[in-house]
Chain A
Amino acid sequence: AQKVTQAQTEISVVEKEDVTLDCVYETRDTTYYLFWYKQPPSGELVFLIRRNSFDEQNEISGRYSWNFQKSTSSFNFTITASQVVDSAVYFCALSEGDSGAGSYQLTFGKGTKLSVIP
């Protein structure tokens, strides 16, 4: 069974601070994908990044960066110099690979609500 744990329920930071959102996952698959989605107050789900289990390179996109470590089953997300527009709920998710039922469904964590205070 797959499981995604986002231990931080809510985080508040002051604008321009850096913040890291933690994500720990469990899976028996050797091939899998990890995702981060953003849900702003307007409610829609915005795709941020996809990472497959064979690619442990860290990725940077502007102020966003992701650190994938298979040894600790973690896929953490860092926002540098946070802005008020970053305020949202962030979800980490896992998609099965080669040993699942073939549905490639996403298993979500419970989300971390980030509040950036001006």
Chain B
Amino acid sequence: NAGVTQTPKFRVLKTGQSMTLLCAQDMNHEYMYWYRQDPGMGLRLIHYSVGEGTTAKGEVPDGYNVSRLKKQNFLLGLESAAPSQTSVYFCASKWASFMNTEAFFGQGTRLTVV
């Protein structure tokens, strides 16, 4: 019963390096989201997907790209990491139906860009 799994859990990057964060869910959810959490800022939406092959920008999309090639996976990419992208990243998924709107979150990925 894995739920939402994020890989990796921790990562240190040098400025300018690239990386991909993987989010995998086994609940057959249509909707998936990437949030970032910064001290005193709560969680802010980066990008989201309402289904396989579709993605859209959230509140803070700059510097990130995403892909949803398979329904169960949602990838977040940083092409050229910057210190401002140091954050904790959370992936979430939920059913498409509005009546079932509980979002399930992964354990988070702590990313440090030096």
Contacts and interface: CB of A to CB of B under 8 A. Distances in A.
Interface residues of B, number: 25
Nearest to B108: A43
Interface stretch (A56-64, A68-76, A102-110): A102-110
Contacts of B27: none
Interface of B: 31, 33, 35, 40-45, 48, 50, 56, 58, 88, 90, 92, 94, 98, 101-105, 107-108
Interface of A: 4, 9, 31, 33, 35, 37, 43-45, 47, 50, 91, 93, 95, 97, 101-111
Given A45-B105, A47-B103, 14 more contacts: A35-B102, A43-B88, A47-B102, A47-B104, A50-B102, A91-B43, A102-B50, A104-B31, A104-B94, A104-B101, A106-B33, A106-B45, A108-B42, A111-B42
